[in-house]
Amino acid sequence: MTPEPAGVEPGSAGRSSVGERLADARAPLAVATAALGGAALGPFARRTLGAASRSAAIVLLIVAALVLLWAWRRRVAAGVAVAAALCTVGLSIRALNPLDDLRPGRVEGPAVLRSDPSPFFGSVEVVVALRGRRLLASIESPSAGEVAGLQVGDTLRVSGRTSRFEHPTGWHRSRHLAGELHVDSVSDIEPGRGGFALASGVRERIRASVEPLDPDAQALVLGAALGDDRSQSDAQRDRFLRSGLTHLLVVSGQNVALMLVLCAPLLARVPVSRRPWATAAAVGWFVLIVRPDPSVLRAAAAALVVAMATGRGQRLSAPTVLAGALTAVVLVDPLVVGSLGFWLSAAATMGLVVGLGSHRGSDWNPAAVGRATLAAQVGVAPVLAVAGLAVPVASFPANVAAGAPAGLLTGWGMTVGLVAGSLPGPWGWVARLPVVVAAWWVDSVARWSARLPLGRFTPGEILAVFVVAALSWATWLSVGRLRHRRLVLAPLVALVCWAGWPRTVTGGAVPGGCLLADEAATVLVLRQAPPTRRLLQALAEAEVRHLDVMLVAPGGLRLAETAVAVRDAVPVGEVRALDEGLSEPACPDAVDG
C-alpha cells in the first residue's frame, strides 16, 4: 500500500514534482488557509464584539455570500479566500454563542450519549445531549457501573446539577460543550436505535472477537480498529507516548483509506453517476462506527472530495484534495480548529504530500516507510512545538518497525474481527493468530523504543531546528559546488544530534512524591497515591528509563496500584516499603496530584 494521504488520487504523486503540484494547488490552498484562519479568529472576534456578536455573525455571513458570488463570477481566487475567511468567522461566532448561555442549576430529563463513557479517577465521564446542549457529565458510583457499558446513541434519564467550565479549553469548544453536569442519579436506560444500534452491534462483534486476547492486545486492536481507548492501561499509554506511537492507539485517516480499499469491489459495481453517493454512504457509515475523530473527519472529507471530483470526470492532485478536505471540515464545524488532533492530522498529511513527492512504495518496504515516517514527523513537529509538546527521537525507528503490523491490526479488526468471535474453537484461534502476532510485535516495539537511551526534541529545540534548516536550505540553493553544499548541512546535523542527545536525569518533586537522582542511583519516593497518568508523564518528561529503587509509603490499595503501574511502565530494580525501619530521605515537597 502506498504511504499517501487518505483521499489522494492514486498515481498523482508521480506525475509532477512537489513544487509544481503545490503551485497548481495555490488557489485551493489559499482558500483552505483563509478558512482555517477565519475559524481560529472566531473566538477572538466574539470576545471583542461582545453582545453585538450575534448580529455581527449574520452580517459576516451575508457579506461572505456576496463576496463569494462576485469572486465566483469574476473567477478571482483571492475573493473566494476572503469569502471563506468571513464565512468561517461568522460560523464560528454562531457556534460559540450557545456555549456561553448555560444557566447553572438543577436539571432533570432524558439525555442522549454523544460519546462512549470513559473511566476518570473512580468515576465515569461521558458527553451527553440534554435540552439542546452538550454537557460533559460526571457520574459517580454506584450509577457509574450502570453507565460504563453504554455506547453512543443510548438514552437515559439523569438528575443532577449543571455548572460552567472555569477555564474552557479548545478541547471543550471543539466538542461543543456548554458546561459540566454532575449527575446524582440515572434511570430509564434505553439502547440507541437505527444507525446507532447497527453501529453498536458492529462494535460489539469486534469486541467479542478480541475478548480471548490478553488486555494489552485487546486495547491495541480496539484502539486501532474502533478508536476505543478506554481499555488501555496507563502503563501502555506511557510506553506508546515515550516511543512516539500514540497515534497507533486511535483511529486515523489510514482507517478511512483502508475501508475504501475494502469497499472498492462493491463500489466498482455502482453506476458512475451514483458512485459518489455510494462512497459518501460508506464513509458516513464508517465514521458512525469509529466515531467522528478529527483525523477521521479530515480523511473522510478528503475521500468525499475525490469521489465528487471523480464523478465529474476530474483528476485532483494531493495538495488540492487536502485543501478541499480541510475547507469542507472547517465549513461544517469551525470549532474543530480547537482540537489538537485536527491540526496534527492536517500537518502530518501535508508533511506526506510535501515530503514524499514522487516516491512511492510498499508499506513493507523499510525505505518507503522511513520516508513516510520522516515526512509525517517533520510535518507535525511545528504543531507539537506550538502546543508545548516534545518529539521523542525513538519515534523515528519505532514508526518504521511498527508501521506495517499496526496496519494489520486495523485491517483485521475491520474484516476478520467481524466474524472471529463466532468461529468455533480452534478456528477462532487460527483467525486470531495474525492479530496476536501483530499486537505482540507493535507492543514490543513500543516497549523497546521507550527504553532506548535517546532524548527528546523539546519545543524550543524543534523551532531552532526548523530555523537552522530553513537557513541551510537557502544557503544550499545559493551554493554551486556539490562538495561545498554538503558542508552547509553540517550545522543542521550538529544541532539535531545535540538536541536529540539524552539528558541526565535530575531529581525533583513529582506527583505523589519525589525523584532522587545522582550518579549512583535513581530513586522514586511515593508518599501518596497521585493520578497514575500524571506521575508517569512526569517520569517521562524527566527522561527516567530505569529506577534503581522505589520507596513506597503505606497508603492502601490505590497507592499499591500506582506502584504496580510504575513497575509495568519503567524497569524497577528494587521496591521497598517506606516505614519506620527506613529513614525518610530528604525530599522536595510533592506535587499536588
Whole-angstrom CA distances from 407 to 99, 209, 257 are 38, 18, 11
Read off the pLDDT band of 397 (50, 70, 90). Answer: confident
Q: What are phi and psi of 132, to 5 degrees?
A: 80, 5
Question: C-alpha grid cell for residue 37?
Answer: 484562519
Instruction: Indicate if 78 and 107 belong to the same structural domain.
Output: no
- Looking at residue 394, its amino acid is A
Judge contact between 569 and 234, C-beta under 8 A.
yes
Distance from C-alpha of 233 to C-alpha of 220, rounded to nearest angstrom: 11
- Asked whether 567 and 550 are in contact (CB, 8 A), the reply is yes
581: how many CB neighbours lie within 10 A of its CB? Answer: 7
Q: Which three cell numbers stand for residue 306?
A: 475525490
Query: Residue 111: inside a domain, yes or no?
Result: yes
Cα 439 to Cα 236, 249, 403: the distances in Å are 12, 11, 12
Q: Indicate the residue among 499, 519, 551 that finishes a domain.
A: 499
E strand or H helix that includes residue 347 = helix 340-356
Domain boundary pick from 438, 468, 499: 499
Domain match, 478 and 553 both: no
Q: Are residues 555 and 488 in the same domain?
A: no
Parallel/antiparallel/unpaired status of strands 133-139 and 177-190:
parallel
Range with the poorest average pLDDT among 207-211, 321-325, 455-459, 487-491: 487-491
**pLDDT tens readout for residues 434-450:** 999 999 999 999 999 98
CA separation (Å) from 292 to 295, 296, 501? 8, 6, 38
**If pLDDT is split at 50, 70 and 90, which confidence band does 7 have?**
very low
Beta-strand relationship, 547-552 and 572-577: parallel
Task: Identify the residue with better confidence: 362 or 150.
Answer: 150
**Cα–Cα distance measured from residue 345 to residue 360, given in angstroms and rounded to the nearest whole number:** 20
163 grid coordinates: 455548572
d(CA 203, CA 279): 21
Percent of the chain with pLDDT over 70: 89
C-alpha 160 chain-centroid distance:
31
CATH code (residue 118): 2.40.50.140
Classify burial at 508, counting beta carbons within 10 Å of its beta carbon; exposed 0-12, middle 13-18, buried 19 or more: middle
- Which of 469, 499, 529 is the C-terminal boundary of a domain? 499
Task: Give which of 40, 323, 33 is closest to 173, Cα–Cα.
Answer: 40
DSSP state, residue 584: P
175 and 153 both lie in a single domain: yes
pLDDT tens digits along 220-275: 999 888 888 888 888 899 999 999 888 888 777 767 777 777 787 888 888 878 88
> Is the pLDDT score of 334 beyond 80?
yes
Does 411 fall in a domain? no
If asked whether residues 43 and 87 sit together in one domain, one would say yes
pLDDT at 13: 42
Sequence-ordered alpha helix ranges (H) in 50-123: 53-74, 77-96
Residue 222: CA count within 13 A, CB half-sphere: 22
Residues 80 and 144 in one domain: no
pLDDT of residue 364: 52
Asked if the structure places residue 478 within a domain, the reply is: yes
H or E segment to which residue 392 belongs: strand 391-392
Q: Is 159 in contact with 185 (CB distance < 8 Å)?
A: yes
pLDDT at 581 over 70: no
User: Does residue 417 surpass a pLDDT of 60?
Assistant: yes
Interaxial angle between packed helices 253-267 and 395-414, expressed in degrees from 0 to 180 and rounded to the nearest 10: 40
Q: Are residues 530 and 467 in the same domain?
A: no
Residues 538, 590 contacting (CB under 8 angstroms): no
Instruction: Please check whether residue 354 lies inside any domain of the structure.
Output: no
Contacts for 183-186: CB closer than 8 Å, 24+ residues apart: 183/137, 183/138, 183/139, 183/140, 183/143, 183/158, 183/159, 184/159, 184/160, 185/143, 185/158, 185/159, 185/160, 186/139, 186/143, 186/146, 186/147, 186/156, 186/157, 186/158
Same domain, 116 and 178: yes
- Residue 564 is part of which domain span? 508-577
pLDDT at residue number 10: 41
- Res 360 pLDDT > 60: no
The answer, yes or no, to whether residue 503 has pLDDT greater than 60, is yes
| Distance (Å, whole) CA 256 – CA 275 | 17
Place of cell 508521480: 14
Q: What is the pLDDT of residue 20?
A: 62
pLDDT averaged over the chain? Answer: 83
In the structure, what pLDDT confidence band is assigned to residue 21 with cuts at 50, 70 and 90?
A: low
- CA distances for 329 relative to 153, 297, 488, angstroms: 23, 7, 41
| Domains: count for the chain | 4
More confident residue, 534 or 17: 534
Q: Give me the mean pLDDT over the 558-579 stretch.
A: 86
Please compute the mean of the pLDDT values over residues 343-365 and round it to a whole number: 71
Q: Where would I find the H helices in 415-458?
A: 425-450
State the pLDDT at residue 269: 85
Q: Which of 13-17, 156-160, 536-540 has the lowest mean pLDDT?
A: 13-17
User: Is the pLDDT higher at 36 or at 465?
Assistant: 36
**Is residue 521 included in any domain, yes or no?**
yes
Do 559 and 528 fall into the same domain?
Answer: yes
Q: In the chain, what percentage of residues exceed pLDDT 90?
A: 25
Quick one: 359 exposed, middle or buried, by C-beta within 10 A (0-12, 13-18, 19+)?
middle
3-state secondary structure string across 218-271:
HHHHHHHHHCCCCCCCHHHHHHHHHCCCHHHHCCCHHHHHHHHHHHHHHHCCCC
Mean pLDDT in residue range 575-587? 66
pLDDT at residue 357, as a whole number? 62
Quote the cell numbers at residue 536: 508517569
Between 484 and 27, the higher pLDDT residue: 27
Beta strands in 429-546 (DSSP E): 456-457, 508-510, 513-517, 522-526
Mean pLDDT over 478-491 rounds to: 67
At 358, the pLDDT band (50, 70, 90 cuts) reads low
The residue among 114 and 478 whose pLDDT is bigger is 114
User: Are residues 87 and 113 located together in one domain of the fold?
Assistant: no
276-303 tens-digit pLDDT: 888 888 888 888 888 887 777 877 887 7
Whether 256 and 265 have beta carbons less than 8 Å apart is answered as: no
**For residue 26, is pLDDT > 70?**
yes
Q: Is 576 left (phi over 0), alpha (psi -120 to 50) or beta?
A: beta
Q: Is 63 contained in some domain?
A: yes
Q: Do 105 and 95 have their domain in common?
A: no
In a domain, 151, yes or no: yes
Mean pLDDT across 425-436: 90
pLDDT for the residue numbered 307:
77
Structural domain contains residue 78: yes
pLDDT of residue 437: 94
Same domain, 132 and 178: yes
Q: What pLDDT band is residue 6 in, cutting at 50, 70 and 90?
A: very low
Q: How confident is the model at residue 61 (pLDDT cuts 50, 70, 90)?
A: very high
Looking at the predicted structure, is the pLDDT value of residue 477 above 80?
no
Alpha-carbon dihedral sign for residues 45, 49, 54, 60: negative
Provide the pLDDT confidence category of residue 138 given band limits of 50, 70 and 90.
Answer: very high
Residue with cell 530553513: 470
For residues 237 and 433, give the distance between their C-alpha atoms in angstroms, rounded to a whole number.
Answer: 24
